[in-house]
Structure formats: structure tokens, C-alpha cells
């Protein structure tokens, strides 16, 4: 019987072949697609911020943000894009001895830089749209508050939240690969991403938008005053900067994303479905 979906073994083989193709891709292609993915994620981030900035019930706000954020991975998976967190699944091709460690790290580095560039591009664009002025500047204040929250959670919490974020992102990518039609791919992506956002897990590429946006928003006195109304302190605003962004959040979250996507999803699925193939070669 012809199934209308791919089995887990078939998915593992698909990711192995995909990882091999990525490792051989030209730098220009990888960068262009990763730039788009960074923009897609940043668009979802700014859209969810605007939707929830004046919702006082945290649970409702997180549920709404999660429902909106899935659009980013849908665009990456369907329209095309290279996302660092999803590319952690290239470890399957590495475990199958189809690519080298150097080629995988090369791809990761190019995609990471491209995602960062796309996110920063959108930060500068959004700052000029006037969107942070909505609700009397409350969107700008909420953006600052979000950045402060993310940079003050501590290394361990950021790392663990990064792990489980990418467990859900890579499971979403894995499940999406099972579907043979667009509707199935959308459904497969929607629910895991909804869960990771609602649970408050940390996504490195999303934070490439959230935190720089908060840092640059500090230059506007109205937005700062709104952030103070939302409960942050002047000391926290003053401390928010490039160092706290890179060291206190992006580093641990990125490491956590790698562990969650590469080890807990990629390696475990490789072990379950493909390991015997390699050992018999």
C-alpha cells in the first residue's frame, strides 16, 4: 500500500541526503537562503510582540505568540530557507559518514551568520516603520522588557531553555518531512513550535531579533519610559547591551540549541533508524 506520508526510517534517510547536499552547497546560496530565514524568523518575532504587548495574562499572551510564531518555520520549510537550528540535523549525515565534521561546521557557520544578518536587517527596518510607537510607545517598551528578560535569566536557564527549544523545532522539521503535501507540513510545524514558544524556550535566531531590537530601542526616551512602567529598572536598562546579548544569552542558547537538535533529536533518531546500516558497511 502506498502511504501518503514518509516513515521515520525514510525521514532519517531524507535528512541524511539533505545534509549531504547542504554540505556541498555554494556559500552564496547558503547565505542567501539563511538571510531569508533570519528575516522570516524576525518577522514572526516582531509580529508576535505587537500582538501580545498589552495582554496582561501571561498564559494567554504566550499562547497567542506561539500560535503566530509557527509561521516562521512554515516559510522556511515550504518557501525555502536555511535556519541554523534546523540545520543541527545535519549531524545525521555526519553520523552516516556522508559528510565531514569540517563541512558541517562550515555550513553551520555560514547559515548562522546569514540568519544573524537577516535578523539585524529587520531590526533596523522595523525601527523605522513606527511600529514601536503603537499604544503610545508601549510596543517599544515591551521590546526593551523582552530583551532584558532574556539577558538576565542566567547561563544555565538559557542553556536548558535552548535545548528544549530546538528539540521542538527539530521535531517540527522532522514531522514536516513526513508529510507529502503542504497542508500536512503546516500542521506538523504548527503544534511543536506553538509549544516551544508558549513554554518560554529560547531560540537563538529569534533572539538575534528580540535582543538587538531591545538594545536599539533604549535610544528612545518614550520607549524607555514605557519599559519602566512595565516593571524593569533603570539599572537593568543601563546594563542591556552587546555584551549581555552575546555572552549572557546568545552563547548559552546557541549551545543549548545545538545539544537539543543535534544530540537529542539527530543522534537519537540516527541511532534508532540508521546505526545498523553504518555498522554493517
For 8-18, write each residue's pLDDT tens digit.
Answer: 999 999 999 99
Whether pLDDT at 115 is above 90: yes
Q: Which position has the higher pLDDT, 207 or 275?
A: 207
> Model confidence over 177-196: pLDDT tens digits?
999 999 999 999 999 999 99
User: Shortest CA distance to 54 belongs to which of 65, 45, 43?
Assistant: 65
Q: What is the pLDDT of residues 147-172, one digit of tens each?
A: 999 999 999 999 999 999 999 999 99
**Predicted confidence (pLDDT) per residue in 116-152, tens digit:** 999 999 999 999 999 999 999 999 999 999 999 999 9
| Spatial separation of the C-alpha atoms in residues 135 and 51, rounded to whole Å | 11
Is the pLDDT at 71 greater than 70? The verdict is yes
Residue 221 has pLDDT above 90, yes or no: yes
Supply the pLDDT for residue 277. 57
Q: Tell me what pLDDT residue 281 has.
A: 46
Position 280 scores a pLDDT of 45
pLDDT above 90 as % of the chain: 95
* Structural domains of the chain ordered from first start: 8-279 (1.20.1080.10)
Report the alpha-carbon distance of residue 216 to residue 55 in Å, rounded.
23
Calpha distance 124→213 (Å, rounded): 8
Q: How far is CA 78 from the centre of its chain?
A: 16
Dihedral sign computed on CA atoms, order 132, 136, 137, 143: negative
What confidence tier does 86 reach under pLDDT thresholds 50, 70, 90?
Answer: very high
Residue 5 φ then ψ, to 5°: -150, 165
- Whole-structure pTM value: 0.94
Q: How far is CA 75 from the centre of its chain?
A: 13
What confidence category does residue 235 fall into, taking pLDDT thresholds of 50, 70 and 90? very high
Whole-number Å distance between alpha carbons of 18 and 194 = 25
Amino acid at each position: 500500500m502506498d502511504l501518503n506520508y514518509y516513515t521515520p526510517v525514510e525521514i532519517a534517510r531524507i535528512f541524511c541526503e539533505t545534509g549531504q547536499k547542504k554540505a556541498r552547497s555554494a556559500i552564496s546560496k547558503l547565505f542567501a537562503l539563511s538571510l531569508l530565514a533570519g528575516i522570516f524568523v524576525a518577522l514572526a518575532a516582531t509580529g508576535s510582540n505587537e500582538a501580545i504587548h498589552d495582554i496582561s495574562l501571561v498564559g494567554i499572551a504566550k499562547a497567542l505568540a506561539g500560535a503566530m510564531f509557527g509561521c516562521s518555520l512554515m516559510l522556511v520549510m515550504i518557501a525555502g530557507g536555511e535556519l541554523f537550528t534546523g540545520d543541527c540535523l545535519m549531524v545525521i549525515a555526519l553520523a552516516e559518514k556522508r559528510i565531514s565534521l569540517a563541512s558541517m561546521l562550515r555550513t553551520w557557520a555560514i547559515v548562522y551568520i546569514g540568519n544573524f544578518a537577516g535578523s539585524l536587517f529587520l531590526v533596523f527596518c522595523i525601527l523605522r516603520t513606527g511600529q514601536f510607537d503603537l499604544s503610545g510607545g508601549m510596543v517599544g517598551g515591551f521590546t526593551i522588557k523582552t530583551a532584558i528578560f532574556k539577558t538576565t535569566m542566567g547561563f544555565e536557564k538559557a542553556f536548558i531553555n535552548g535545548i528544549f527549544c530546538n528539540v521542538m523545532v527539530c521535531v517540527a522539521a522532522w514531522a514536516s518531512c513526513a508529510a507529502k503535501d503542504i497542508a500536512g507540513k503546516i500542521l506538523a510545524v504548527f503544534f511543536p513550535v506553538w509549544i516551544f514558544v508558549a513554554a518560554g524556550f529560547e531560540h537563538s535566531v529569534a533572539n538575534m531579533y528580540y535582543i538587538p531590537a531591545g538594545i536599539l530601542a533604549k535610544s528612545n526616551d518614550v520607549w524607555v519610559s514605557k519599559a519602566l512602567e512595565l516593571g524593569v529598572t533603570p539599572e537593568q536598562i543601563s546594563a542591556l547591551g552587546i555584551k549581555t546579548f552575546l555572552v549572557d544569552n546568545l552563547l548559552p542558547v546557541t549551545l543549548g540549541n545545538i545539544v537539543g537538535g543535534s544530540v537529542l533529536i539527530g543522534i537519537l533518531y540516527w541511532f534508532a533508524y540508521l546505526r545498523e546500516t553504518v555498522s554493517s558497511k
